[in-house]
Structure 1
Amino acid sequence: MPVRRLTAIAILATAALTLTLTLSACGPDETTASGQPATAPTVGSGSVAASPASSAGAATGGGQGTAPGASRGSAHPSPAGAKGGSGGTSSDEYAYAHPCAGEQVKVTTGFDAQLGTTKRLIKVINTGSTACGLSFHPSVAIDNSGTVGAGSGPGPVQSVQPAVSKNLGDGQGYPLRAGATAYAVVDLDPSHSTTGAGRQYNELSVMATDKLPLADTVATPITEQGGGAGNPYVKSPFLGKYSDTVADASADATPGQ
């Protein structure tokens, strides 16, 4: 898998996290960053790189991360029975200080009919015994698998990265407690228009958090849903932040959030 794809998201996410921490030290106000929506991929034009609205953090959103029990959009509510406060290996503070390792999380992606034909659901499960920290949202690329990886032959990589939510919230990322699941949704074509949409993309590449190596990327085939056939339509894709529920994740995968 080419280093230039998902690592670009990771670099920007690190910068965004530094900005979030700096601003949070000045006061409790919610911070946001603005960005432009991703550009539509051009069919047959070779390498396609959608311009994230500040990929993976700089103008992204990510989790609900912060104070336990708070409402969606400003903080990360604690799962029932979990300790969200200071102290203990299940606290948010512990998660922020201990980024999730590859062996600690299980990543799955797929189609969920409840979300609509253009959306794909991403699940990240903490299989470990302690909390760990995710970035605000996963690192995602939508690829033409035939142009990616060793043995793909000459020619440019065809890959597009979705624009991301601009509202970071108050946290330092998304705290994922032991046994809990974080959800994120990517909309391949929020406009639901086939005009100008690319159909050369057949793979969704996902890395749970920006601190993981490319070896921990999960690549899943994607196809058109809703009675169609072949590759899905991809046009100005958009990625939402990590959320505690599928419903919240789907709602956040909307341009302008």
Structure 2
Amino acid sequence: MKQLSVTVRTDGTRRIIEVANTGASACGLDLLPAVDLGTADDTDRSGNLHPLVPGGLGGPDHALLAGTKAYAVLDLAPGGGAGADVDEMHVLVSPSHMPNAETRAFGLGSGVQVSGPRLGLYRDTVAEAVASMRQADTTQQ
């Protein structure tokens, strides 16, 4: 994962996962990252929440050309309302292409409520990633 950088930024209840290819060659990513939500003090993570993802996935991987970025959007509470208290998001950029890569932990801040989280596919723009997230209807495995 040396040629990839991963950042997460906040936009209301959404978290925008940005993967940048800083290398000199293209690489393939899975259609979406593996994401789970939990608490920083829980080392087991077996009880963590998993977001819904778009169903019927198939087709080619997401090609990430040298010098470009891909975006996936996670909405922690698309319907609003109270939910589970979590303070950390775990991201594995490409579970089948890079299963041994480090799962990165990103703090969510205190008091974050998660209710019915939804995750979209990697897309070339944030707007396209948001549109994909709105189609999420299947539990991520």
TM exceeding 0.5: yes
Paired residues for 1:206-245 under 5 Å: 206-210=91-95, 211-213=97-99, 215-223=101-109, 230-245=110-125
* Contact 2:34-2:91 within 8 A present in 1 as well: yes
1:162–1:236: 8 Å Cα contact kept in structure 2?
yes
Letter in 1 for 2:15: R
Relative to structure 1, the CA distance from residue 198 to residue 137 in structure 2 (aligned partners, 3 Å threshold; closer, same or farther) is: same
Residue aligning to 1:248: 128
The one of 26, 31, 40 equivalent to 1:131 is: 26
- Contact preservation (8 Å) 1:124, 1:181: yes
- 1:162-181 correspondence runs (5 A): 162-168=51-57, 171-181=59-69
Partner of 2:7: 108
Helix, strand or coil for the counterpart of 1:110?
Answer: strand
- Cα deviations by residue, 1:216-239 (Å, 9 ceiling, x for unpaired): 21111002xxxxxx3211112110
Q: How many percent of aligned residue pairs carry the same amino acid?
A: 36
Distance 2:115 2:6 in 1: 24
Within the candidate set 57, 71, 76, 1:188 is matched to 76
Asked if the contact 2:120/2:136 (under 8 Å) is kept, the reply is no
Equivalents in 1 of 2:115, 2:32: separation in Å?
20
1:242 alignment partner, SS class:
coil
Note if contact 1:126-1:181 (Cα within 8 Å) is conserved in structure 2.
yes
Counterpart-to-counterpart distance in 2, 1:256 and 1:202: 22
RMSD: 1.9
Shift of 1:110: 1.9
Secondary structure of the equivalent of 2:2?
helix
Larger radius of gyration, structure 1 or 2? 1
More strand by share: 2
Question: How many Å separate the matches in 1 of 2:70 and 2:126?
Answer: 9
Letter in 1 for 2:108: I
Instruction: Show CA shifts across 1:119-163 (max 9, x none).
Output: 1000001111111100000111111111126xxxxxx75411111
- Contact 1:140 1:207 (8 Å CA) reproduced: yes
Per residue, is there more helix in 1 or in 2? 1
- Cα separation, 2, equivalents of 1:118 and 1:255: 17
Change (3 A) 1:147 1:157: farther
Runs of 4+ in 1 over 6 A off after TM superposition: none
Q: 2:90 aligns with which of 205, 209, 227?
A: 205
What are the residue-to-residue correspondences of 1:19-30 with 2, within 5 Å? none
Aligned residues between the structures: 136
